Structure formats: structure tokens, C-alpha cells
């Protein structure tokens, strides 16, 4: 199958360009740092004989911070590594000898998407799963619904991937990067504004938050992941990325899935229609 | 090659506009199966755009094209088509054998067939000594050789080569010439874009000239026997009677001093003309059929360079 060949090529390219190794080093470095921080924290607990309830809450908060960084890192890595995949091949002309092969164009694009998705999911599994394992191992804390959380973060990355691919069929690499990062930055901002609305009780901020979530539902996915995973007390902290003042609904998740599929559809359609 | 056979390529009024720029105005052509077709024209004439339309890389604004009997771009038919792009860029993190295997696989070739085909092809294009290098280490000409091998890996029935010799040394050019001929002998059709007229002249069966996105002339280069040929001869002691006798073959014989000029409908009659002159007692010191070189033809048809 043509798409499977293209998926394999995409992964092989990442391996040849040492992208896989670099990402692995980053992931391991991150986990080591996180583990070290937890280790010292736990030592301090012992020295100060902190009460177990407080210990649990502090480690939980550290875990959520770790997962938040994992989420940001994974999304940025996804955008960064895929921003050139389509536009770069069109600009350099390498796509020409490929696109005349007896493989429909939608398979070329989807194959590349699948190859990138496999790598992104592996990265999320390693960093997200690793963070949770480290927190459990060193601090004895397990989040509420780690699987749901992981799936939502994965969905966020796949969303980033689909949007980057779609924009890549229109724009040059640099423009694509600016556009997609801008979109995700917008969603980030909107998420914070919505959190703030719970604090200031401003209905208009809520509206802004919802509208930005509709424009780009990435941050809503993260906030839903937080809601799924966190312990009750952390959720009560009013003003943090981990606060669950305004919880994105299940409908919002459905919207994000549709958004992903539409972005992928648009990418396929435009890649099919355009001159190469 | 029979007349009953559909042409390998048929284009009808293909047109491509990029915004307000017309890249190809009205391209109509027909390339018979088994020919080497040369596509000539100045820079920016629309040669590459034409090839890309025939390959469905670029979607025509209007017009139709059939390639190997199917509409241009038909997925199954693409199995029988090879292409060396003008800017031959391939995944440069591959080695040449990996490149060929990838392209072969995309063409649906089996691993078994690739195992024998890849080394043979690398040998053919002279890349066997560099088989373990990554393409990013390759020079332009080496890359072009890899590209040529890529275009031929699945033994296509139709090969498009967009300036296949632009980066090659003289040995490489000769190699390409031999490969193209071998492809034709195998029964394949070759569509060749080139600026190198002397090469086109010795390789191609047919040529078409394109200017400003339109075919302005085409020539069959194989017909050595047919087609009008002009002759310039140096002749002394040519009697009026003998001159009049040339009327059997030509109507435009003209003698100026001892330079005789005339033209005949076909080169086949030239020995007879020469025998007639000698038989009539004329001293013929030179007898030169004038074949217009492709370069003259190019300049005449396409016009002097008026700048792009
Ligand atoms: N993507 C594009 N966008 C806009 N104009 C284009 C594009 N591609 C080609 N053109 C224009 O179309 C015309 C034909 O270009 P094309 O590349 O087909 O020429 P060519 O005959 O192959 O020239 P060369 O001998 O230099 O390779 C040129 O004037 C070029 O500027
Ligand atoms: Mg060209």
C-alpha cells in the first residue's frame, strides 16, 4: 500500500536526520529532571516531617506541572517537526517524482500524516506516561484518570498535526509555522482568559474563551484533561492552568475531533487540487 | 508501431494560466508509441509546464490530454510512466539503492524484482562505486544520474525526461543518449525536453518547437530519404543540355559561375542526379546536400533571442 510506504518513509527520514534520537534525549532529560525534583522534595518531606495529606497535595501539584510542561512540549514538538513536511517537499520539488507514482495523492498525504502521528504518539506516551510513572514511583501519587488525560493530550497533538498539514498545503514552511503557532497561542490566551473569568465573574471573558476554543480547541482539550486527572483540592485553586473553573464540555471534545477530521480533509482536498 | 495503435501521448488544446501569466497557450500534440520525441524551445517557453500537465502534476486551465490511452493522471496508468524532473531533487538522506527501492516500491514492484533490477540499474548509470553514499553527498551530475535511474527503475512504457543532461559531463551525456536509445529499442516512448540541439538531433525521431506556450513547428528527423533537400555543387564544363536535363528531378536548378544550386523532393534521387551530371561530361568537384541543422532551424523558427 502506498500510504504505508509513505508512513515508513516519514519515520525513516526522522530517524536518518537524528530527529528521533534528539527527541528521545529531550524526553529522557525531562524525566530525569522531573524525577530529581521529586526526589529532593520527598527528602524534604522526611526532614520536615510534613503531614501525609499535604505531601500528597504537593506531589500532585508537581505532577500536574510536569504534565502541563509535557503537554506544551509535545504540541510544540509536533508543530516544529511537521511544519516542513508538506510545504518543504513542494518547495524543494522532491514531491514531483513521488506524486507521479501510481499512488493517489490522498494516500501520499495521509501516509505522511500517519507516520508523523505514530512518532508524536510515541513521544506523548514516553513523556506523559514517564511523568506519571516517575510521580507514582517517587511520590506515590497517581492522577485520577491518567488514560483519559493521556488520550486528550494525544488528541491535542494530532489536532496540531492535522492543522499544520492543512496549512502546509497552502503556505511556505515559515508562514505555516507562524500561522499554526499563532493559532495555538490564541487558544492558549483564550484559555487563560476563560480561567480568569471564573475569578472575576465576567461573562464576556467566558464568551471570549469559548470563541477562541471554537477557533482552536487545543487548550480546551488540555483543560478537560486537567479536569479528568486532578485531585479535588488542586481543582479548588482558583487561578492556575490546573484550575477547573470552566470545564470544557464533552461537546467540546467532540468538536475537537470533528475539527481534526475537517483539517485533515481540507489538507487532502487541497493537496489533491493544487499544482505541485 | 502501427497506425492502428493509439498515440502514447495526445494533447488537445492544453492551456495553463498562472494568474494572468499564460505559461502554455494552446498545446496540441501527438506522440506515437515507440518514438523519441524532442520538445524544444527557449527558456520560459512552457516546456516544463507542458510535461507537468501531461503528468497531472499541474492541472491545466483548459484542454485535455490522454497518456498511454488514459486521461492524464490516471492512477493505474502511472505505473507505466517514468519521470526525471527538471529540478531533480529526491530524498537526500537515502543512498542510491534505497532511493531506487523506494521508487520501485511506490510503482508496485516486488522485492524480488527490485533485488536484481537495482544493482543492474546502478551499474547502468555508473553509480555502483557510490552506492553507499547518501544522496546529500552527491554532486549535481551524480544526482541527475540517480534521478535517471529512478525514472527507469520500473521499466516504464513512457519516460518523461526534463533536461536530463543539464548537469552531466560529456561521458554522462553520451550515457544518457545511449540509455534513451536503449529505451526506445525496448519499445518505450521517450519525451525529452532539452536545450542541447546537437544531442536532440542525434537522438530524437521527432521534434516540436514551442514558443510562448504554443507549438510553432514540428519536424520528423528520421526521414533521411524524403523531404526536400537542397544541393550545392561545384561543377565545370556543364553543357546547357545537361543543365536542362536536370529538369527530370528539379525545377529550380541555377548555375552561377561554377556553383550549381538546386533542390530535389527527396534525397533518394541524388545518386541519379550525380550520375546524370558525370555522364553528361561535367567535372563535379563537390556535391553537397544541405541538411539544415536543428540549430539553424531552431533560430529560424523560434526567432532571435529577444530577451525573456
Ligand atoms: N508556478 C508558476 N507560477 C507562475 N508562473 C510560472 C510558474 N511556473 C512557470 N511559470 C511561468 O510559465 C512560463 C513557462 O515556464 P516553464 O517552466 O514551463 O518554461 P520552460 O520552457 O521549461 O523553461 P526552461 O527552458 O527555462 O526550463 C514561464 O514564463 C514561467 O515564468
Ligand atoms: Mg523547464
The pLDDT tens digits of the residues spanning B35-62 come to 999 999 888 899 999 999 999 999 999 9
Whats the size of chain B, residue-wise?
308
Give the HSE-up count for residue B44: Cα atoms under 13 Å, Cβ half-sphere.
8
B189-193 and B36-40 as β-strands: parallel, antiparallel, unpaired? parallel
- Whether chain B has a CB inside 8 Å of the CB on A96: the answer is yes
* Mean pLDDT score, B236-243: 89
Per-residue pLDDT at A245 exceeds 70: no
Q: B231: which strand partners?
A: B262, B289
pLDDT band of residue B225 (cuts 50, 70, 90) is: very low
Question: Between B109 and B296, where is the model more confident?
Answer: B109
Per-residue pLDDT at B177 exceeds 60: yes
* Mean pLDDT score, B205-233: 79
pLDDT band of residue B115 (cuts 50, 70, 90) is: very high
The predicted structure's pLDDT at residue A238: 53
Per-residue pLDDT at B299 exceeds 60: yes
d(CA A147, CA A149): 5
* Mean pLDDT score, B202-212: 88
Question: Between B292 and B95, where is the model more confident?
Answer: B95
The predicted structure's pLDDT at residue A66: 92
The predicted structure's pLDDT at residue B61: 95
Per-residue pLDDT at B128 exceeds 70: yes
Q: Nearest-CA neighbor of B212 among B17, B54, B24, B28?
A: B24
Q: Are A97 and B81 within 8 A, CB to CB?
A: no
pLDDT, tens digit, for every residue of A92-130? 999 999 999 999 999 999 999 999 999 999 999 999 999
> Lowest mean pLDDT: which of A2-11, A233-242, A260-269, B272-281?
A233-242
pLDDT, tens digit, for every residue of B80-111? 999 999 988 899 999 999 999 999 999 999 99
The predicted structure's pLDDT at residue A235: 54
The predicted structure's pLDDT at residue A249: 82
Arithmetic mean of pLDDT over chain A: 89
* Mean pLDDT score, A53-79: 91
Tell me how many residue pairs between chain A and chain B have CB atoms under 8 A apart: 63
User: Which grid cell is B32?
Assistant: 506515437
pLDDT band of residue B3 (cuts 50, 70, 90) is: very low
List chain A domain ranges: 3-273
- Whether chain B has a CB inside 8 Å of the CB on A102: the answer is yes
* Mean pLDDT score, B203-208: 88
**By the 8 A CB rule, do A196 and A240 touch?**
no
Closest residue by Cα to atom 12, ligand 1, is B23
* Mean pLDDT score, B175-186: 91
d(CA B220, CA B190): 15
Per-residue pLDDT at B217 exceeds 50: yes
State the distance between the two ends of chain B, measured CA to CA, in whole angstroms.
Answer: 39
The predicted structure's pLDDT at residue A203: 78
Per-residue pLDDT at A253 exceeds 50: yes
- For residues B59-77, one letter each, b for 16 or more C-beta atoms within 10 angstroms of the residue's C-beta and e for the rest, the string is ebeebebbbbeeebbbeeb
Q: Which atom of ligand 1 is nearest to the CA of B195?
A: 25
Per-residue pLDDT at B226 exceeds 70: no
Which chain B residues are closer than 8 Å to A273 by Cβ? 59
The predicted structure's pLDDT at residue B191: 95
User: Which grid cell is B71?
Assistant: 486521461
Residues with C-beta less than 6 Å from any ligand 1 atom = B 18, 21, 23, 41, 43-49, 86
Helix axes B170-185, B140-152, angle to 10 degrees: 10
Question: Between A197 and B280, where is the model more confident?
Answer: B280
- Cα distances from B153 to residues A9, A118, A204, B114, B274, in angstroms, run 18, 30, 63, 8, 50
B21-31 and B9-18 as β-strands: parallel, antiparallel, unpaired? antiparallel
User: Which grid cell is B125?
Assistant: 548509470
B213: CA distance to ligand 1 center in Å?
9
Q: Nearest-CA neighbor of A58 among A72, A38, A75?
A: A38
Helix axes A218-229, A52-82, angle to 10 degrees: 160
pLDDT, tens digit, for every residue of A178-195? 999 999 999 988 888 877
Highest mean pLDDT among A229-233, B163-167, B225-229 belongs to B163-167
Instruction: Work out the percent of chain A whose per-residue pLDDT is above 70.
Output: 93
Per-residue pLDDT at A234 exceeds 60: no
Closest residue by Cα to atom 13, ligand 1, is B23
Best residue of B14, B15, B24, B57 to probe chain A, by most A CBs closer than 10 Å: B57
Highest mean pLDDT among A138-147, B94-103, B228-237 belongs to B94-103
The predicted structure's pLDDT at residue A231: 66
pTM given for the model: 0.86
**By the 8 A CB rule, do B75 and A104 touch?**
yes
Question: Between B300 and B286, where is the model more confident?
Answer: B286
d(CA A105, CA A272): 6
* Mean pLDDT score, B51-80: 94
**By the 8 A CB rule, do B8 and B158 touch?**
yes
- Cα distances from A5 to residues A104, B1, B248, in angstroms, run 13, 37, 69
d(CA B265, CA B228): 4
Q: Nearest-CA neighbor of A63 among A246, A233, A252?
A: A233
Q: How many CB atoms lie within 10 A of CB A200?
A: 9
B74: CA distance to ligand 2 center in Å?
23
The predicted structure's pLDDT at residue B291: 64
User: Which grid cell is B205?
Assistant: 525521431
pLDDT band of residue B76 (cuts 50, 70, 90) is: very high
The domains of chain B, with CATH numbers, are 9-220 (3.40.50.300), 226-295 (3.30.70.980)
Ordered DSSP codes for chain B: --TTSPPSEEEEEEEEEETTEEEEEEEEEEE-TT-EEEEE--TTSSHHHHHHHHTTSS--SEEEEEETTEETT-TTGGGGEEEE-SS----TTS-HHHHHHHHHHHTT--HHHHHHHHHHHHHHTT-GGGTTS-GGG--HHHHHHHHHHHHHTT--SEEEEESTTTT--HHHHHHHHHHHHHHHHTT-EEEEE-S-HHHHHHH-SEEEEEETTEEEEEEESS-SSSS-EEEEEEEES--HHHHHHGGGT-S--EEETTEEEEEES-GGGHHHHHHHHHHTT-EEEEEEEEPPPHHHHHHHHH-S----
Closest residue by Cα to atom 28, ligand 1, is B44
Per-residue pLDDT at A19 exceeds 70: yes
Amino acid at each position: 500500500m502506498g500510504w504505508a510506504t509513505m508512513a515508513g518513509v516519514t519515520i525513516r527520514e526522522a530517524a536518518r536526520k537524528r530527529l528521533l534520537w534528539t527527541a528521545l534525549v529531550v524526553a529522557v532529560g525531562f524525566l530525569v529532571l522531573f524525577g530529581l525534583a521529586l526526589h529532593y522534595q520527598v527528602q524534604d518531606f522526611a526532614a520536615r516531617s510534613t503531614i501525609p495529606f499535604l505531601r500528597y497535595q504537593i506531589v500532585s501539584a508537581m505532577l500536574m506541572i510536569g504534565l502541563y510542561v509535557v503537554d506544551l512540549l509535545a504540541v510544540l514538538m509536533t508543530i516544529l517537526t511537521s511544519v516542513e513536511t508538506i510545504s518543504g517537499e513542494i518547495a524543494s520539488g522532491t514531491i514531483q517524482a513521488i506524486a507521479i507514482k501510481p499512488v493517489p495523492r490522498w494516500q501520499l498525504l495521509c501516509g505522511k500524516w500517519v507516520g508523523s502521528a505514530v512518532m508524536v504518539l510515541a513521544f506523548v506516551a514516553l513523556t506523559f506516561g514517564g511523568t506519571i510513572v516517575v510521580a507514582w514511583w517517587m511520590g506515590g501519587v497517581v492522577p485520577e484518570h491518567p488514560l483519559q488525560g493521556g488520550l486528550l493530550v494525544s488528541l491535542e497533538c494530532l489536532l496540531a498535526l492535522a492543522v499544520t498539514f492543512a496549512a502546509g498545503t497552502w503556505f511556505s514552511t515559515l508562514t505555516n509555522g507562524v500561522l499554526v503557532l499563532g493559532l495555538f497561542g490564541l487558544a492558549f490566551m483564550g484559555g487563560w482568559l476563560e480561567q480568569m473569568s471564573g475569578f472575576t465573574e465576567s461573562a464576556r471573558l467566558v464568551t471570549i474563551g469559548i470563541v477562541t476554543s471554537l477557533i482552536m480547541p487545543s487548550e480546551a482539550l488540555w483543560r478537560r484533561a486537567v479536569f479528568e486527572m486532578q485531585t479535588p483540592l488542586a481543582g479548588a485553586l482558583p487561578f492556575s492552568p490546573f484550575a477547573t473553573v470552566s470545564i470544557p464540555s464533552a461537546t467540546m471534545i467532540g468538536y475537537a475531533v470533528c475539527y481534526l477530521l475537517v483539517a485533515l480533509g481540507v489538507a487532502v482536498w487541497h493537496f489533491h487540487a493544487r499544482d505541485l | 508501431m502501427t497506425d492502428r495503435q493509439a498515440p502514447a501521448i495526445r494533447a488537445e488544446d492544453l492551456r495553463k494560466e498562472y494568474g494572468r501569466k499564460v505559461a502554455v497557450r494552446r498545446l496540441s500534440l501527438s506522440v506515437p508509441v515507440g518514438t523519441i520525441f524532442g520538445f524544444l524551445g527557449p527558456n520560459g517557453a512552457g516546456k516544463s509546464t507542458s510535461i507537468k500537465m501531461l503528468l497531472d502534476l499541474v492541472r491545466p486551465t483548459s484542454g485535455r490530454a490522454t497518456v498511454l490511452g488514459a486521461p492524464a493522471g490516471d492512477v493505474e496508468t502511472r505505473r507505466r510512466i517514468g519521470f526525471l524532473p527538471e529540478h531533480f531533487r529526491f530524498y537526500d538522506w537515502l543512498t542510491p539503492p534505497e532511493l531506487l527501492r523506494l521508487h520501485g516500491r511506490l510503482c508496485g514492484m516486488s522485492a524480488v524484482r527490485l533485488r536484481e533490477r537495482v544493482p543492474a540499474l546502478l551499474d547502468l548509470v555508473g553509480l555502483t562505486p557510490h552506492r553507499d553514499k547518501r544522496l546529500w553527498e552527491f554532486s549535481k551530475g551524480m544526482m541527475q544520474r540517480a534521478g535517471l535511474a529512478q525514472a527507469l527503475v520500473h521499466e516504464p512504457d513512457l519516460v518523461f525526461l526534463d533536461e536530463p543532461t543539464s548537469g552531466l559531463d560529456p561521458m554522462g551525456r553520451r550515457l544518457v543518449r545511449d540509455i534513451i536509445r536503449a529505451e526506445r529499442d525496448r519499445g518505450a516512448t521517450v519525451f525529452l525536453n532539452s536545450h542541447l540541439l546537437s544531442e536532440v538531433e542525434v537522438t530524437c525521431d521527432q521534434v516540436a518547437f514551442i514558443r510562448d506556450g504554443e507549438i510553432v513547428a514540428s519536424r520528423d528527423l528520421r526521414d533521411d530519404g524524403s523531404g526536400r533537400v537542397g544541393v550545392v555543387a561545384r561543377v565545370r564544363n556543364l553543357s546547357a543540355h545537361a543543365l536542362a536535363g536536370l529538369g527530370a528531378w528539379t525545377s529550380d536548378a541555377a548555375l552561377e559561375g561554377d556553383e550549381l544550386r538546386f533542390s530535389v523532393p527527396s534525397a533518394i534521387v541524388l545518386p541519379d542526379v550525380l550520375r546524370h551530371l558525370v555522364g553528361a561530361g561535367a567535372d563535379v568537384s563537390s556535391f553537397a546536400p544541405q541538411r539544415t541543422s536543428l540549430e539553424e532551424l531552431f533560430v529560424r523558427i523560434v526567432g532571435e533571442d529577444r530577451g525573456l
